[in-house]
Amino acid sequence: MSIESQPFPPGAVLRPEPSSSSGGREPAIRRQAEEIIDSVLSGSGPDQADIREQLRQCLAAHPGRPETALLEHLVNTRALDRFRDRMQDTFPAEGSPGARQLTGSLFPRSEDSIRSRIEAVLEGRMLVTAFQPVRDLAGGSVVGAEALTRFLSEGGDSAEGWFADAKRTQLTGDLDFAALESALAAAQELPAHLFVGLKLSPDTCLDPLLPVLLEETELDPGRMVLELTGAMTKEQPAPLVAALAPLRRRGLRLAIDHAGSFFTSVRQIRHVRPEIIKLDRNLIAGIDTDPLRSSLGEAMVGFAEQIGAIVIAQGIETPEELATVTGLGMTAGQGYFLGRPTTRPADWKEWTCGTPLTAWLTPPTQ
């Protein structure tokens, strides 16, 4: 029995933290490893007793080095067997690049090796979900949670890097669905009044498997917000609207993610008519001091009102940015200043004083 042959508890996730200029990534990786270890060891199911005992043995063998203990445990499991021959240093010494990056730098970057690496993650379901709170800017209450994917063998790669690699190797759909399944399972632990933001590429939204998967989940469609990540082609809006229409009639809502980070056709947004437009951090950063960003933000609020959508500002990191986006009429926001991503169910349960979903989000497009 291996650690990844069983579902991870909802709290077992890598919490993203910025690198410090003095300590590099090692302290953050260490804290991330400790979170995963604590979550696994806190389980009580008899079917996972072997997992916990194996992990305790690794911790005893590497006192004070949880990241090395976790790596040893993962290397000893079935899902990483296929990687062993590629590893140059299975158990890195404390302070070495291998310890700081865990497994990330141990794999060659050829296309075949990237595909093998992603396939191993998919096979072992070595990804977990963090949620970041979305707050109503009028009252400050938490009204939603965006699902963010983290990888147990992430090393120095960001989640964006993993999905970029998946696109390069034509595995975007596989990784999207694995992340979606993880998010839907973890979302059962969220307070019932929250909407759940689920990131998907336009291609995945057109996959016939999507409605099948969403119909099988216990999460109410009325709480789901599909966040389209990435630009659509000229041909995609019409079939995408048709494919999602049955789900939207059942209550599902649509969001355009990262608006402002790439050229998004206004005509395409009008065609899709999302209930939510999410402004990218690139537009929000410095919006309090940059007149151009402020003007663009104000224009997006006006445009959203024309199509009956609301605007969510992403990446709010200062009180000045918060005050500016609120003054511009943006409805909601998220970012480190409003709440960091977390995978601890205890943190999620604190998001209970929110506005009822039906009173906050606009009715889904019919």
| 85 shares a domain with 131 | no
Residue 122 belongs to some domain of the structure: no
Q: Which helix (H) or strand (E) holds 127?
A: strand 127-136
| 210 shares a domain with 94 | no
Confidence bin at 259 (pLDDT 50/70/90):
confident
Spacing of C-alpha 137 from chain mean position: 22
Q: Which range is least confidently modeled, 7-16, 56-65, 236-245, 299-308?
A: 7-16
| 102 shares a domain with 134 | no
Q: What is the rounded average pLDDT for all residues in the chain?
A: 78
Structural domain including 9 reads 1-106
pLDDT in tens, 68-78: 777 766 655 54
- CA gap 225, 205 in Å, rounded: 12
| 101 shares a domain with 131 | no
User: Residue 13 has what pLDDT?
Assistant: 35
pLDDT in tens, 205-242: 999 999 999 989 999 999 999 999 877 888 899 999 99
At 263, which CATH number? Answer: 3.20.20.450
Do 288 and 320 contact (CB within 8 A), yes or no? yes
Q: Is the pLDDT of residue 101 over 90?
A: no
pLDDT in tens, 301-352: 999 999 999 999 999 999 999 999 999 999 999 999 999 999 888 899 999 8
Residue 67 belongs to some domain of the structure: yes
Residue 61 belongs to some domain of the structure: yes
Residue 280 belongs to some domain of the structure: yes
| 295 shares a domain with 241 | yes
| 140 shares a domain with 27 | no
Residue 111 belongs to some domain of the structure: no
| 327 shares a domain with 286 | yes
| 59 shares a domain with 143 | no
The b-or-e profile of 18-39 (16+ CB within 10 A means b, else e) is eeeeeeebbebbbebbebbbeb
| 135 shares a domain with 80 | no
Q: Which range is least confidently modeled, 88-92, 260-264, 319-323?
A: 88-92
| 169 shares a domain with 58 | no
- In total, how many domains does the chain have? 2
| 216 shares a domain with 79 | no
Q: Which range is least confidently modeled, 157-171, 234-248, 272-286?
A: 157-171
| 42 shares a domain with 172 | no
